[in-house]
Structure 1
């Protein structure tokens, strides 16, 4: 009988596959990318999608209530750098919910205090208005200082 090292040294054997029954794999180790899974928060589901460099897509997470996983307009989604993923269908009302933001940070492995785009509304208000009106003008904010 040949040893494992001898087996690997054999010509023509480039790889081998070991199948491990799912019940022996901890849930945390299972790959759930691309699948809607329970977020651990009541009624919320999450789907983490892998990075795809060929279309300049970052790793990102979609979050929705269970009943809205098929409705893009009822979801919030962020990239792994904290920017909004689906800018045209991003639901700001859902994105402003702290539970949803917590789910996103946890799913993407971000720190608890990591700022997600849209979470701080005031600094982005002019930019959001510009995008909503699609006027293509860079907004400028003037601040008057009293002497």
Structure 2
């Protein structure tokens, strides 16, 4: 049996072990996890005044990133309602959905009009850990059929 790269094995398992709905779910979880982690990093850098990142404001009003998430989610909804099946199952739609949810979830307390405890250390650590753990677990379980197939192939079974 020829040895293929791990990337080739993952690509093959993704295509053969997951139906189109499972593929979309996995892509969405991966996008959610990646965007949520990236947003956390960027917001911490902004708060610390490090790096090239700054808050975006228009007319003196801060534009929170949940706003972009809501806009993206509206676009995904339009695709779900009016798009073709090919467009609904397109990887870009799954990425937009996962990314939009990450942007919204990261600032969910602001949407509920709760006290602005966004930067309170105790609150942020627990929320960051909970959402990060959930997103990693969701990605893992969505990818489990792919992981199992790649593992079997790499062991030569």
Shorter chain as normaliser: what TM range? Answer: under 0.3
- If asked which structure has higher relative contact order (CA below 8 Å, sep 6+), I would say 2
TM-score by length of 1: 0.25
More strand by share: 1
Structure label with greater radius of gyration = 1
TM-score by length of 2: 0.24
